[in-house]
Amino acid sequence: MNSLLNIDSLACQYGPVPVLQDIGLQVNEGDICCLLGPSGCGKTTLLQAIAGFTPLVAGQIELDDTCIAKPGAGVAPEARGIGMVFQDYALFPHLTVRENIGFGLKSVGRPERETRIREALDLVKMDALADRYPHELSGGQQQRVALARALAPKPRLLLMDEPFSNLDTELRRTLSREVRHILKTAGITAIMVTHDRDEAFVVSDRLGIMDQGRLMQWGTPAEVYHQPATPLVASFVGDGNWIEGRVLDSQTLETELGRVHQPGHPWAAGTSLDIFVRPHEVNVTDAFDAVQVETLSGEFLGTQTLYRFTLHSGRELEAQFGSQAVFQPGSTLGLALTSANLVAFPTSNHYDPADWHSPTTPMASQSQPAAMFGAAAR
């Protein structure tokens, strides 16, 4: 697959304050990519640097093998062939849907302009509403118009800054799937900024996790979820709890939930581990040697119930079971790990939730990739 966008060692700053540091990534033609991370981590600044609105202090950006930005130089934003969908849609209230879509096509001849407007309207299924004004549209319809306006000039790359943040949860889910289908149908390469991990998983072919102006990991959603590069990434892309563990031998780990057979792990006997346990990776067992835990509470979620337990160490653990399973607060039961894809890090890389987006977090100490055990790791 051909590479469309290449970013190498990019850095940006506002005055003396560094905002982005040593960003490097590659976007293949036709891919839909997401930048995911907490507020203030630099996602939007990176988007603005690609668009040409924020200058670089180091590194460079190449589009189609042409350098479009480097320190002290760059192609003007309007000449980059990059489209932009803003968080607030930025539709012109005095223009109809048709006129909004055609606004960026003034340099195109009238017949071609009308053809592109019709194509864009058809692509986002807004033909019947072409003569309405923005105030006569729902939030989802306004988002489709903003997308159509960005697609009409046929950009080489489309940038979207939190495009669904103004919509309710259900509409966000529906529209994110629709937008992915629209972009794939049009063959458009896109980068979207979001802080919603479910949205990022649904939309993206490639996912980047950012924190404190650095790109922590860049890969497919499955790679980032199952093989997180740092404890921060593991905690951000999936709910779960950290428990303590220790390597017994080349086949076995001792954990707070008992011994686990995990062939193929990379660590020497005696190595202390922090193991990230997701709620679906735990099961109830009546084995005679099962670890007993105390039930704290249960949260009914419809088809599932999310329970919280206390381990002997005092740590809390969440586990999710079918809603027919009922455990009363204060009751004890045996739990065991069931997953063949556990994520673990040496204890020196232990992650505390308070570290996320903390200026004091030592980035270098969190650079060692996790081991993902089981068949998928071999």
- Yes or no: say if 220 and 207 are a contact pair by the CB < 8 Å rule: yes
How many whole angstroms separate alpha carbon 328 and alpha carbon 335?
Answer: 15
Q: Which helix (H) or strand (E) holds 211?
A: strand 206-211
How many whole angstroms separate alpha carbon 100 and alpha carbon 83?
Answer: 14
High-pLDDT (> 70) share of the chain, %: 91
How many whole angstroms separate alpha carbon 325 and alpha carbon 354?
Answer: 32
Domain boundary among 174, 206, 226: 226
Mark whether 34 and 92 lie in a shared domain: yes
- In the chain, which residue ranges form alpha helices assigned H by DSSP? 43-51, 97-102, 110-123, 139-151, 169-186, 197-203, 221-226, 231-237
Domain boundary among 186, 210, 226: 226
β-partners of residue 291 are 335
CA atoms within 13 A on the CB side of 228: 22
Mark whether 179 and 240 lie in a shared domain: no
Long-range contacts of residues 303-306, Cβ cutoff 8 Å, at least 24 apart? 306/279
Mark whether 210 and 262 lie in a shared domain: no
Mark whether 288 and 356 lie in a shared domain: yes
Mark whether 17 and 109 lie in a shared domain: yes
Exposed (0-12), middle (13-18) or buried (19+): which is 140, by Cβ within 10 Å?
Answer: middle
Mark whether 83 and 150 lie in a shared domain: yes
Secondary structure (DSSP) of 222-287: HHHHHS-SSHHHHHHHS--EEEEEEE-SSSEEEETTEEEE-TT----TT-EEEEEE-GGGEEE---
Q: pTM score, two decimals?
A: 0.85
- Yes or no: say if 208 and 35 are a contact pair by the CB < 8 Å rule: yes
Residue with tokens 């232990």: 350
Q: Report the domain count for the chain.
A: 2
Mark whether 21 and 85 lie in a shared domain: yes
Mark whether 239 and 171 lie in a shared domain: no
Domain at 331, CATH number: 2.40.50.140
Q: What is the number of H-type helices and E-type strands within the chain?
A: 8, 22
- Yes or no: say if 219 and 206 are a contact pair by the CB < 8 Å rule: yes
Domain at 88, CATH number: 3.40.50.300
What the block records as the tokens of 373 is 């055990």
Quick: pLDDT tens for 250-290: 888 899 999 888 887 888 999 999 999 999 999 999 988 88
Q: What is the mean pLDDT of residues 56-63?
A: 98
- Yes or no: say if 68 and 74 are a contact pair by the CB < 8 Å rule: yes
Quick: pLDDT tens for 20-47: 999 999 999 999 999 999 889 999 999 9
Does residue 351 have a pLDDT over 90? no
Q: Residue 81: CB partners within 8 Å, gap ≥ 6?
A: 63, 155, 156, 157
How many C-beta neighbours within 10 Å does residue 14 have? 9
Q: Which domain holds residue 249?
A: 231-377
CA distances to 151, 296, 323 from 301, in Å: 39, 16, 8
pLDDT value of residue 163: 87
Does residue 341 have a pLDDT over 90? no
What pLDDT band is residue 365 in, cutting at 50, 70 and 90? very low
What pLDDT band is residue 165 in, cutting at 50, 70 and 90? confident
